[in-house]
Homo-oligomer: A and B are copies of this chain.
């Protein structure tokens, strides 16, 4: 028997319905924000995908050659392709605001929650320097999560300029700052001692590491933490700029309506090397064990790296598939109905063509309808409708047809009612 390839999965109708529902909700919110859809291919030229990815990611890329020996690779995220589009279409009206929802592929160790094919839902804004763009993409994601049924959030924010200034202030040499970023990023995973161990390579003095970790430990209410950070970093103009960017972000968040959830966490790094300003992550309250559900940040230097004009950019992404099991745990799908609402049951094959006409009439009225295809007796048809959880059966018989009528059977109560065909759609709609 054939299985889907290791690390991938099939979505049987019940699961695909849930996933489609999540995607539809998210898309509705993104479009209410005026984000425009952008579609890019599933694979890209390998060299393009390698530009902005760190070594970790390169190991996870599915790469291959086409039949003309071109080096291609499945996309591992949706941003790189978007940056390619922005870099090569210099006539785009800025700000350019796009959303993208689609699958990406990473060769990672599969687990119950981690697949090698998974769907991401992104919003990004190109061409805006001010923190309002960061505040807005974060707002779009928070609103999308609210739309699909989450209620409370923990939103951690930081700014890469603050982080790099603290690293400098701690006495870690500039050229080691990327290594320090990566070490700090593992804080939650490997703990304080683990980070100090990792930092040994970046700093001659353990003292610097401890000082760094103490400063990074600052976390809490944005007003308080940012005021302390500004004092601490007063000799580091970039760090102060980072603080100001977050102050603005917090101010805008009040307008967008999610300020109450924000915490400034000076240890937040968000892994990827290319962030240049604010970084952020969203955790759903009550579902902390799933870690951050959405995350992103500002990457002002990437468009230029891709050969475009220097263009500010910020964006956020979340994993659609990972949301589904969390939403299941919340019971978000309990009232959702898969498949047809109405089953049309001809009493015999002689009335089948008439039954098809009734079926089509209901479908044209937007009512999801199936009709018997097996020539089964009426009792068997009721059994099938019951098994498929279809709430209403419309029985089509010769005698009723002569009166331009059919019978509606409620599968829950067993009640039956004779209805004129001309009134059927309205009755069932």
On A, residues with C-beta under 8 Å from B are: 1-6, 8-13, 15-17, 19-20, 28-29, 31-34, 36-45, 48, 59, 62-68, 70, 72, 74, 81, 84-85, 87-89, 93, 95, 97-98, 103, 105, 107, 117, 125, 128, 130, 132-133, 136, 139, 143, 251-252, 254-257, 306-308, 338-340, 352-357, 359-360, 363-364, 366-371, 373-375, 384, 387-388
**B residues within 8 A CB of A353?**
251-252, 254-255
Of B62, B130, B355, B368, the residue contacting A64 (CB under 8 A) is: B62
Taken together, the copies of this chain in the complex come to: 2
CB–CB A373/B41 < 8 A: no
**B residues within 8 A CB of A11?**
37-40
CB–CB A72/B41 < 8 A: no
- Which residue of B is nearest A390, CB measured? B34
**B residues within 8 A CB of A44?**
2, 4-5
- Which residue of B is nearest A83, CB measured? B2
CB–CB B88/A373 < 8 A: no
CB–CB B3/A88 < 8 A: yes
**B residues within 8 A CB of A70?**
5-6
Looking at A5, A12, A85, the one whose CB has the most chain B CB atoms below 10 A away is: A5
CB–CB A8/B41 < 8 A: yes
CB–CB A368/B338 < 8 A: no
CB–CB B37/A20 < 8 A: yes
In the assembled complex, the Cα of A107 lies from the Cα of B366 at a distance in Å of 38
**B residues within 8 A CB of A39?**
10-11, 15-16, 19
Of B2, B66, B95, B355, the residue contacting A88 (CB under 8 A) is: B2
**B residues within 8 A CB of A3?**
45, 88
**B residues within 8 A CB of A17?**
36-37
In the assembled complex, the Cα of A374 lies from the Cα of B13 at a distance in Å of 45
CB–CB A257/B360 < 8 A: yes
Taking the closest CB of chain B, its distance from the CB of A230, in whole angstroms, is: 21
Taking the closest CB of chain B, its distance from the CB of A30, in whole angstroms, is: 10
CB–CB A357/B107 < 8 A: no
**B residues within 8 A CB of A32?**
363-364, 366-369
**A34 with B2, Cβ < 8 A, contacts A132-B352, A360-B257 known:** no
Taking the closest CB of chain B, its distance from the CB of A375, in whole angstroms, is: 7
**B residues within 8 A CB of A93?**
384, 387-388
Q: A1-B307, A5-B43, A11-B39 are in contact. List 11 more A-B contacts (CB 8 A).
A: A2-B88, A5-B72, A10-B38, A12-B38, A17-B36, A32-B367, A32-B368, A34-B340, A59-B67, A62-B64, A130-B373
